[in-house]
A and B are shown apart, each in its own frame.
Chain A
Amino acid sequence: MFAGLDPLFLNGVTLEVFIIVLVKVVISFSVLLVSVMLMVWFERKLVSDMQNRIGPNRAGPWGILQTLADGIKLFFKEDLQPDASDPFVFKLAPYLSLVPAFLTFAIIPIGGNFKDKDGIITLPDWLGGESTYLQLADPPVGILLFLAMSSIAVYGVMLAGWASGSKYPLLGSVRASAQMVSYEAALGLALATIFLQSRSLSTHDIVADQAGAGWLGIVPHWNVIVTGFVPFVVFLIAATAELNRPPFDLVEAEQELVGGFHTEYSSIRFAMFFLAEFMNTVTLSAIMVTLFFGGPSGPILIDSIDWVFPIFWFLLKLFAFLFTFVWFRATLPRFRYDQLMDLGWKVLIPISLGWFLFLAARNVLADRNWNVGILLGVTLAIFMVGGLLLMGAIKSAAEQRELEETRF
């Protein structure tokens, strides 16, 4: 009934509504900051566990305040700016990284009972009795905001490298722009399958679409299952690349480029990049939970506190993804630049494109009552032909390159 619109705004914007929005802003801002702090600590602690060492254990209990200590240390360090740098862009770049990281989180539904109440939380009467979604904003463009923000973040990395006026950062930023731009394509195609499925861009609608039980009444109606896993796997890989996390961390490949794009950054400007990186990890994990794993949906065990469980399920799923990212880091060696591009353009994009078309055909089939057997047959045939064509193209391109490189 209220699809695409937060019920908070139904009665016009009153002071109460304004205060609620303000509180939501403060909460999501601080939750994100604290979660980043915990994420850094969690990553270091988990990696050290996997690597047979202790990890941070000095600041606070189990070293949990280590990030805070590091932050304070970075604050008080000298802010160096290379002579060869472009002063304005050099200072601008960290903000271009940091601000989009904050903004994306606004569209994530972090709670709300989607089973019976369409994700709407009604405040108790002594707080005004307003109803609202548990997400900061639910713009109709929804998930496109995320794509836009991640594109802007590329500028942060790219300009940082370019403005440093130094070679290692420049190489890092060249890698970054190529990598992030090409993986955004795969990311977008994987997203398109979700739009196809949920018939909406709004994150709230996407989550609402996934609520309830699907097949057999036990298997959840999550997009990861409904869209057939492939988009999810593509999205996960592309997201890792988008985040510049191992094994796709070429941008800051320490062993090759020292610090990559932020080699020349120090003090709080470096801290901003660092913060943005981890914030993006948290945000993208949250996006994946929202898009593929039903967001906050999950069994609600006690009806009287039905707002607690969705938040709990959301955090649990989020945690699982954060763990996965750390796990990647501890296990996998780094890709090489050209291999990364090959993976993006020759594997992920064709697969996600093909899968998108397949899902589209499936939807048409449902509408028009086509024959399932013929559809599967035709799809398989097209996939095979397309695959062969692609392989042929790759092979001939490789031969061509070899021919060009043969000297004298």
Chain B
Amino acid sequence: MTATEDLTPAAAVTSASAPLPEDAERVYRREDSAVLRMSEAEVAQLAIDAPAEALATNTDERTIMNMGPSHPSTHGVLRLVLELEGEVVKRSKPVVGYLHTGMEKTAEDLTYLQGSTNVTRMDYASPLFSELAFSLATEQLLDVEIPERATWIRMLMCELNRMSSHLLFMATNGMDLGAVSMMIYGWREREEVLRFFEMVTGLRMNHNYIRPGGVAADLPDGWRDEVLRLLEMIPPRLEEYDILMTGQPIWRERLQGVGVLNSTEALALGATGPILRSTGYAWDLRRDDPYLAYDQVDFDVIVGTYGDCFDRYAIRLNEIRESMRIVRQCLDKMPSGDFRVQDKKVTPPPRARIDESMEALIHHFKIFTEGFKVPEGEVYVAVESPRGELGCYIVSDGGPKPYRMHVRGPSFINLQTLPHLMYDGLLADGVAVISSVDPIMGEVDR
């Protein structure tokens, strides 16, 4: 299929030169997982309507298999209902919601200051990005300009987080394909990054570090050396990955040509991030809709050609390298100054001021009990998370809590590509596909 053609299987059929008889189209739609966008009832009807002999050829030999929600390679609690013909996946349907905790609803009960503790728990592999999107949205509503140093700290931390997230992908991708050692190596490098996070934010995950108005604390003494140590340590390790995986014939066999998507399909399904870029469509919010100070740093947007699992793997591997480039520039350009906005209405006063100033104490008390009020309005802010476009939509009614908060979780939307990627592949390919989509279930279910 060329990129200009329409993309849904049914539409592709109709756009072909000879129109199809209706029965054949029914069978085709049933085959080609297009039905996954219908309800179960419709699907059942479709099966009934189709001519018996057309369906009899393959339906009877099919197995319905349930993969998950507790399965070693569904990355948490993703559940897939697969329809297999032998070991070939004919239909698949992701079932989500096993980790649903109502975070978006919870956000309506939390002040803007508490909000980042909530969103940070969504994408637990890259928590800083959720915090960033939430904070940027809040700041846009508040109409405050955050200090330059805070911007650069955010950028530094986010790029490091992108590295840790992609390293985690390297680990799980290796493990899913049976290269179990890779899992440990990936975790090992990620741990080094997390160690830096712990040094800066006090926690390895769920940092609550990026907050509306800036960041929670300034970078600690010696941070520069730590970052330099990371930048020195990781490149040779990535080269080891290249030896262990990229050049590995079995690895290439397993990933090349598996789970292919073209850019029209990817766009129609709303896929973003490495999945979209793997199809050759260079879309990266950092470059195309710069936030923070991404317009002041120099980096490449990595794109693939074939849109297969190998491209997605290679993109992530190289994005780690690009992130390191950005981190290096952050080191060079890190300005001095405040790490959070000095707006008394938004930022709690420093601890020392509380002991000597009654006003500071009142401010502190007000901000932490009632919260600061945010002007009425609605806003959507998107950032490029390691998994794609992570958006935060906030409606404010003028109170100290969001009237409504919605997060566009890239994992959730990317998950839609699964049935298309898995169609007509083997079960083992399915595992490779899930892995290469890299869904984080915390973000999917929220």
Q: What is A's interface to B at a CB cutoff of 8 Å?
A: 47, 50-53, 167-168, 171, 174-175, 246-247, 249-250, 253-258, 329-339, 407-408
Contacts and interface: CB of A to CB of B under 8 A. Distances in A.
Interface of B: 13, 16, 20, 24, 28, 31, 63, 65, 71-73, 87, 174-181, 184-185, 188, 244-245, 248, 250-251, 253-254, 426-431
The 7 closest A-B CB pairs, nearest first, are: A334-B178, A333-B179, A255-B73, A51-B184, A333-B177, A336-B428, A333-B178
B312 to A, nearest CB: 16
A115 to B, nearest CB: 41
Given A255-B72, A337-B87, A407-B31, 5 more contacts: A53-B184, A255-B431, A256-B431, A333-B177, A335-B254
A182 to B, nearest CB: 16
A247 B253 CA distance: 13
B13 A408 contact: yes
Please classify the interface of chain A as helix (H, G, I), strand (E, B), loop, or mixed, using the class held by over half of its residues.
helix
A336 B16 contact: no
Contacts of A408: 13, 16, 20, 24, 28
B185 A250 contact: no
A337 B188 contact: no
Contacts of A332: 178-179, 248, 250
A335 B249 CA distance: 10
Counting chain B CB atoms within 10 Å of each CB, the highest count among A256, A339, A408 belongs to: A256
B428 A253 contact: yes
Nearest to B183: A51
B109 to A, nearest CB: 39
Nearest to B424: A405
A256 B244 contact: no
B179 A258 contact: no
Contacts of A331: 179, 181, 244
A407 B28 contact: yes
B175 A339 contact: no
A175 B84 CA distance: 15
Contacts of A167: 63, 65
Contacts, number: 89
Contacts of A250: 428
B93 to A, nearest CB: 16
B254 A52 contact: no
A255 B175 contact: yes
A52 to B, nearest CB: 6
A339 B28 CA distance: 28
5 contacts: A52-B185, A253-B428, A334-B254, A407-B28, A408-B28
Nearest to B184: A51
Contact of B177 (A47, A174, A334, A338): A334
B71 A258 contact: yes
Contact of A338 (B71, B174, B176, B426): B426
Nearest to B21: A408
Counting chain B CB atoms within 10 Å of each CB, the highest count among A171, A249, A332 belongs to: A332
A50 B181 contact: yes
A230 B248 CA distance: 22
A338 B253 CA distance: 11
Contact of B427 (A47, A171, A339, A407): A171
Counting chain B CB atoms within 10 Å of each CB, the highest count among A171, A255, A331 belongs to: A255
B426 A51 contact: no
Given A333-B251, A336-B253, A337-B87, A253 B181 contact: no
B188 to A, nearest CB: 6
B8 to A, nearest CB: 15
Given A247-B250, A336-B253, A255 B176 contact: yes
A162 to B, nearest CB: 14
B27 to A, nearest CB: 9
B426 A336 contact: yes
Contacts of B31: 407
Contacts of B16: 408
B174 A256 contact: no
Nearest to B64: A167
A333 B428 contact: no
A336 B248 CA distance: 14
A52 B178 contact: no
Contact of A330 (B28, B181, B427): B181
B305 to A, nearest CB: 21
Nearest to B430: A256
A168 B64 CA distance: 11
Contacts of B71: 258
Contact of A51 (B13, B177, B185, B427): B185
A255 B244 contact: no
A126 B245 CA distance: 60
A333 B258 CA distance: 15
Contacts of A253: 178, 428
A249 B180 CA distance: 12
A335 B71 CA distance: 20
A249 B181 contact: no
